[in-house]
Amino acid sequence: MTTSLHYARLSADDFRARLREALAIYVEAMRYPPGTAEQRAPMWLTHALREGWRCIAALDAEGTMLGIAYGYRGAPGQWWHEQVRRGLTSAGGEQLAQRWLADYFELTEIHVRPASQARGIGEDLLRRLLDGVPNRHVLLSTPEGPSRAWKLYRRMGFVDALRDYHFAGDPRPFAILGRALPLEPQDRR
């Protein structure tokens, strides 16, 4: 990893100012088609207004964003919460849903530019984002299938909450992964 890399906590105003750059990373990392950024922009801006929202960016020496991670306190009434609650309840009943959803931080987005991947940036973003989060659990969703993200989540102790779940409007299967907080301390690079 280069020594010129640094991390910055973005305020909601900073996030809005750098939204295009963050969305470009998202589209490139997820290999989404052009036009996806414009669709997602309003939703990302709305997320920044949610309780407990926090954001970390990885920046190079020139200040160019190499990675982004954000999330917030999950709560009933949020689209993702309701989708996951439905899936968990179907798979294991209300008790399983309560176990995961009673007090959690939703890791909504974490992306690193493909050219900057495999340098520890994703793990650093994840650790810095979750440092000091007061919730009992962290949950995320990720497309099923082998990827660098999967390896990171497993290495960081995430376990299956729900597998092969289909969100409304998306034909791909997703895994819902979670783990208890806080993360184990580790020396930062």
32 catalytic, yes or no? no
Whole-number pLDDT of residue 172:
87
The domain defined by 6-180 folds into Aminopeptidase (3.40.630)
Instruction: Give residue limits of the domains in the chain.
Output: 6-180
**Do β-strands 104-112 and 137-143 pair in parallel, antiparallel, or remain unpaired?**
parallel
SS3 track for 7-56: EEECCHHHHHHCHHHHHHHHHHHHCCCCCHHHHHHHHHHHHCCCCCCEEE
Neighbours of 75 (CB within 10 A): 13
**Looking at the predicted structure, is the pLDDT value of residue 1 above 60?**
no
Residue 149 or residue 133, greater confidence: 133
**Looking at the predicted structure, is the pLDDT value of residue 100 above 60?**
yes
Catalytic one of 7, 70, 72, 153: 153
Question: What is the reported pTM?
Answer: 0.92
Quote the mean pLDDT of the chain.
92
Which strand ranges, in their side-by-side order, compose the sheet holding 159-165? 6-9, 54-59, 65-73, 104-112, 137-143, 174-180, 159-165
Going by pLDDT thresholds of 50, 70 and 90, the confidence category of residue 104 is: very high
**Looking at the predicted structure, is the pLDDT value of residue 189 above 50?**
no
**Looking at the predicted structure, is the pLDDT value of residue 2 above 50?**
no
pLDDT digits (tens, 9 = 90+) for 7-43: 999 999 999 999 999 999 999 998 888 788 988 999 9
The predicted model gives 144-156 an average pLDDT of 90
- Up-side HSE of residue 52: CA atoms within 13 Å toward CB? 19
Locate 75 and state its tokens.
């709560």
